Amino acid sequence: MNAADDKTIVREYFNSTGFDRWKRIYGDGEVNKVQLDIRNGHQQTVDSVIGWLKNDGNLAELSICDAGCGVGSLSIPLATEGAKVYASDISEKMVEEGKQRALETLGNAENPTFAVQDLESLSGSYHTVICLDVLIHYPQEKADEMISHLCSLAQSRIILSFAPKTCALTLLKKIGSFFPGPSKTTRAYLHREADVIKILESNGFAIQRKEFTKTRFYFSRILEATRS
């Protein structure tokens, strides 16, 4: 399968069955046990990133690009803390849901600014570029291009999360219990941490902070890198 096919499949998935599934996982309504586990794991990832940025004490001064923002799980709390957030996603349905949630939570439609856009076509310049749990949909070669493009948009910092390619996860994936459930219709790609770090470094970034979220069905390595 080539990368263009991956992207078309991902877009269609997040505008159809994937939208229904992930809207529920990224919500607070009733879900099954596996989905609840993934919800909790993902929330830990979001909380780790918000924790880092809040600790720095300058969130309200930052412009942030949330690439592949989904339903705004990160963008909305960042905007609540005063950051200026540009939130975009390849899926119209996810963006619509994000807009609605932002309006309900924040009572305005100005910040975050939402847009339907794939991250490869993003332009502009932001203090911090964040991309959580998106790379899992793409093979390493394509992920390298995406990371390089995101680096070109970041004035100072980039934060990425991805499912790390470890022996345990590779095995889990082989036996089919990674991202389980009837709506499992996209491929999940694991990425070697060393490969991700290499591409960040080749774009002039150096790793500052790392975190790892692990629940039963959810695994995510988070890396923060700044321009060196």
Interaction of residue 133 with ligand SAM, rule CB under 6 A: yes
Interaction of residue 178 with ligand SAM, rule CB under 6 A: no
Amino acid at 172: L
Interaction of residue 68 with ligand SAM, rule CB under 6 A: yes
Pick the closer one to ligand SAM by CB: 206 or 214. Answer: 214
Interaction of residue 119 with ligand SAM, rule CB under 6 A: yes
Considering only residues 73, 128, 203, 213, which one is a binding residue for ligand SAM as defined by CB under 6 A? 73
Q: How far is the CB of 143 from ligand SAM (least distance, A)?
A: 10
The footprint of ligand SAM on this chain (CB under 6 A) covers a number of residues equal to 20
Which of 88, 101, 168, 98 has the alpha carbon at shortest distance from 129? 88
Interaction of residue 132 with ligand SAM, rule CB under 6 A: yes
Q: Which stretch binds ligand SAM (CB under 6 A): 68-76, 79-87, 172-180, 195-203?
A: 68-76
**What are 77's two structure tokens?**
């709390």
Convert the chain into a string of H (helix), E (strand) and C (coil).
CCHHHHHHHHHHHHCCHHHHHHHHHCCCCCCCHHHHHHHHHHHHHHHHHHHHHHHHCCHHHCEEEEECCCCCCCHHHHHHCCCEEEEEECCHHHHHHHHHHHHHHHCCCCCCEEEECCHHHCCCCEEEEEECCCHHHCCHHHHHHHHHHHHHHEEEEEEEEECECCHHHHHHHHCCCCCCCCCCCCCCCCECHHHHHHHHHHCCEEEEEEEEEECCCCEEEEEEEEEC
Q: Which stretch binds ligand SAM (CB under 6 A): 77-85, 108-116, 133-141, 191-199?
A: 133-141
Q: How far is the CB of 228 from ligand SAM (least distance, A)?
A: 25
Interaction of residue 129 with ligand SAM, rule CB under 6 A: no
Q: Residue for token digits 């080539």? A: 2
Taking CB under 6 A as the criterion, which residues in 2-61 touch ligand SAM? 7, 10, 14, 22, 26
Pick the closer one to ligand SAM by CB: 181 or 206. Answer: 181
Q: For 116, list phi and psi in degrees, rounded to 5.
A: -90, 110
Which residue's Cβ has the minimum distance to ligand SAM?
70
- The residues binding ligand SAM (CB under 6 A) are 7, 10, 14, 22, 26, 68-70, 73-74, 89-91, 94, 118-119, 132-134, 137
